[in-house]
Structure 1
Amino acid sequence: MARTARDRRTRKGPLTYVLRSIAVGYVFFLVAWPVSLVVKETFNHGFESLRVALQDPVVVHALWLTVEIALISVAINAVFGVGISLLLVRYRFPGRRLLSALIDLPLAVSPVVVGLALVLVYNGRNGWFGPALESARFPVIFALPGMVMATVFVSLPLVVREVVPILQEIGTDQELAAQSLGANAIQTFRRITLPAIRWALVYGVVLSLARSLGEFGAVKIVSGNFVNQTQTATLVVEQKYQDFEQSTAYAAAFLLASASVLCIIIVSFIRPKDPS
Structure 2
Amino acid sequence: MRKPPKSLADRLILAVGIGLVLGLLVVPLVLIFSKALGDGLPALWSNLQEDYMLHAIGLTLFVAVLTVPLNMVFGILLAWCLTHYQFRGRRLLSTLVDLPYAVSPVVAGLCYLVVYGVESSLGQWLSARDIQLMFAWPGILMVTIFVTTPYVARILIPVMQAQGSDAQAAALSLGANGWQIFWHVTLPDIKWALLYGVVLTNARAIGEFGAVSVVSGTIMNQTLTLSLLVDQLNNDNKAAAAFTAAALLAVFAIVSVMLKSLLEWRVAAGRRRNQAEAVQQ
Relative to the length of structure 2, the TM-score reads 0.90
Instruction: Say if 1:215 and 1:11 are closer, same or farther in 2 by CA, change over 3 A.
Output: closer
3-state SS in 1 of match to 2:154: helix
2:77 matched to which residue of 1?
Answer: 83
CA distance in 2, matches of 1:269, 1:128: 48
Deviation at 1:9, TM superposition (A): 4.0
2:244 to 251, 261, 265: 251
CA distance in 1, matches of 2:210, 2:3: 44
Deviation at 1:192, TM superposition (A): 0.9
2:16 to 15, 18, 22: 22
One-letter identity of the residue aligned with 1:168: Q
1:32 matched to which residue of 2?
Answer: 26
Deviation at 1:19, TM superposition (A): 2.9
1:107 matched to which residue of 2?
Answer: 101
Moved more, 102-111 or 264-273: 264-273
Instruction: Say if 1:92 and 1:197 are closer, same or farther in 2 by CA, change over 3 A.
Output: same
Checking the alignment, whether the CA contact within 8 Å between 1:86 and 1:164 is kept in structure 2 is yes
Counting matched residue pairs gives 268
2:130 to 125, 137, 145: 137
One-letter identity of the residue aligned with 1:138: I
- CA deviation map 1:165-203 (0-9, x unaligned): 110111000000011111122211111111111100100
Deviation at 1:267, TM superposition (A): 1.7
CA distance in 1, matches of 2:129, 2:95: 34
Checking the alignment, whether the CA contact within 8 Å between 1:120 and 1:128 is kept in structure 2 is no
Checking the alignment, whether the CA contact within 8 Å between 1:49 and 1:248 is kept in structure 2 is no
Moved more, 135-144 or 55-64: 135-144
Checking the alignment, whether the CA contact within 8 Å between 1:151 and 1:212 is kept in structure 2 is yes
1:5 matched to which residue of 2?
Answer: none
3-state SS in 1 of match to 2:149: helix
One-letter identity of the residue aligned with 2:49: Q
2:164 to 162, 171, 177: 171
1:97 matched to which residue of 2?
Answer: 91
Instruction: Say if 1:37 and 1:226 are closer, same or farther in 2 by CA, change over 3 A.
Output: same
1:154 matched to which residue of 2?
Answer: 147
1:240 to 233, 239, 242: 233
2:174 to 157, 176, 181: 181
One-letter identity of the residue aligned with 1:77: N
2:264 matched to which residue of 1?
Answer: 271
2:219 to 212, 226, 231: 226
**Percent identity of the aligned residues?**
40
Deviation at 1:73, TM superposition (A): 0.6
CA distance in 2, matches of 1:41, 1:102: 42
One-letter identity of the residue aligned with 1:146: G
After the TM superposition, list the runs of 4 or more consecutive aligned residues in structure 1 that deviate by more than 4 angstroms: 273-276
Checking the alignment, whether the CA contact within 8 Å between 1:52 and 1:248 is kept in structure 2 is no
One-letter identity of the residue aligned with 1:95: G
Relative to the length of structure 1, the TM-score reads 0.91
CA distance in 2, matches of 1:49, 1:111: 34
3-state SS in 1 of match to 2:142: helix
2:57 matched to which residue of 1?
Answer: 63
CA distance in 2, matches of 1:78, 1:98: 21
CA distance in 1, matches of 2:263, 2:62: 24
CA distance in 2, matches of 1:178, 1:18: 56
CA distance in 2, matches of 1:229, 1:89: 42
Over the residues paired in the alignment, what is the CA RMSD in angstroms? 1.7
Checking the alignment, whether the CA contact within 8 Å between 1:158 and 1:207 is kept in structure 2 is yes
Instruction: Say if 1:11 and 1:235 are closer, same or farther in 2 by CA, change over 3 A.
Output: closer
Deviation at 1:138, TM superposition (A): 2.2
Deviation at 1:67, TM superposition (A): 0.6
